[in-house]
Structure 1
């Protein structure tokens, strides 16, 4: 009886996946898909659809939902699909974009979704609207780019395995392993010590210090008990660790300048480190009700829109989302934005800022797995467009098509 029930459940799951794949890959448009070989060859500005204002929605390849190619839908501001591109590129897949103020028109792209060891990353030029693949050629092994989210003058990323051995050097007795932090600009790397792996969160560069955060080991309930912030001296390679006297149990690197690094804790405190690794503690959210989340662990709730100014949202189960401006200039302060387009029952992803078109892009997810693209002004933060979109959770990137 149990075997029959398992067979029925398995059959239903397979049928649902087949139906999803059919619906997603068969878009109702008047023309056939435009096939492009290679993401770097995608040039939408050469093939705009008429004079209507439109946006390009990127659904990257994802083998987990049987989508073998990247689909890009050109939509009007009311959500009408005007054109669909199919981009065939075996090296391009689900993506997370990162933007830093000192290179505001270049986006850094971290790939995810498959267990792939790749010695490359992608960038996107907002001005030229073109993707570029950057090969990493200074390693002796295939190390894999875990992510390339970073702040500072240099290009920093973390690798899946150790740059020294090409392996994670896993210790089965302790469950500990090694990864690496690497500086693409200087071609210098640092192997993380056993028990100190980095989280999927930004790497900071402040003066001669490279900073990352980790949760250390977790207990049987999956809760981090030894969260830390690692401070690597880029000149000597020596590393120190701090937990800011356990004022928080998780840490998220927020931003850095040549003089200071800013770390936010899960209890709402912000720790500001100077070049001597001394720190001050601030509580910019004290005027708000207690929040369940003071930052999004994946970084989707934080966008540096200029040096020291962050578009940031918090979440409370009772009050919902609070969108506001976090200023890191002088003493950190947080000012909520009173915007009616934020629905407390929905969830949000802040993508990036297009300074050329003076727009910021947010993805809004509703309870039915569809949602909206919110286009807001990057000065007033007023809503410009609310564009209905399908399969919001598979949509990773948006550009204005003009």
Structure 2
């Protein structure tokens, strides 16, 4: 008997496998295909030759915890205690899972804003809790009336994702005021703020829960070195939370992974001093603009992309197919893999949209759009 009977293979795995089968250009799964910074690879090579291959402390390499605290202060003007309020995790997904397992109880309710990343619901269900899926508005901004209506005495947590995967939207200060006002009414509700794309924003900078002092004592904030430094396969991220919540999260973390890859932590600890994260947005903005210019010649209608390395596009003006069938046909007939949005919704809502990952080299983006022009 399955604990997760309705969950199967993720759409990310399905589309990447299909891309491999048909030798399609893969704009589906969210990983860059360009080289990692040579300086980071050199650091890995240097540390691999040293005797640093045993367990590190459960919470993380202490110098790296200090660097994360410094990065948080520089980026958001928030001072955190590296010894008690920071945790290095085996990717953001492990951090999310550990936080939910530690802080959510049987029969609690957790609000998820759809479309949403698929790892949230599984962690909630494994707690014996109830995921409450609240759709965003048609423009993918928070529907505060619907969120307010969903809140009640059983609500334990609300999960937010900003910048947002899959839509590329970012929250405004008004959204945070609405959230703070709502949480004032429910003092036991915890905010799980998924901010893995925090440094990939464009015209308007991302507002972090780290910048909202009113939220500090009730927020778990999720970050990702994998996303920020183009090293998704390293599976390394971190959490920031008040000590009262972090104590409980660490209890779960120690029995999930105990400690995170030592070589990666040593290398990243050095690399943080060499890289300027504030420049990451302009790097990806060039890719976004290049891809959008290419896509203007296709039949797709492009939504605004404010952050992340994803572009959502509608095909509703030229096809009535459901999004999964349409996405599969793009692979088999045109050789381009994307992600349909319906799996990001609890009820599989079909909004006739696809998600394209533009974290690719220019040649890949050019070849993909040349194929899409044939539609």
Q: When the two structures are superposed, what TM-score results if normalisation uses the length of structure 2?
A: 0.26
Please identify the structure whose Cα radius of gyration is greater: 1
Q: Would you tell me which structure has more strand in proportion to its own residues? A: 1
Higher helix content, 1 or 2: 2
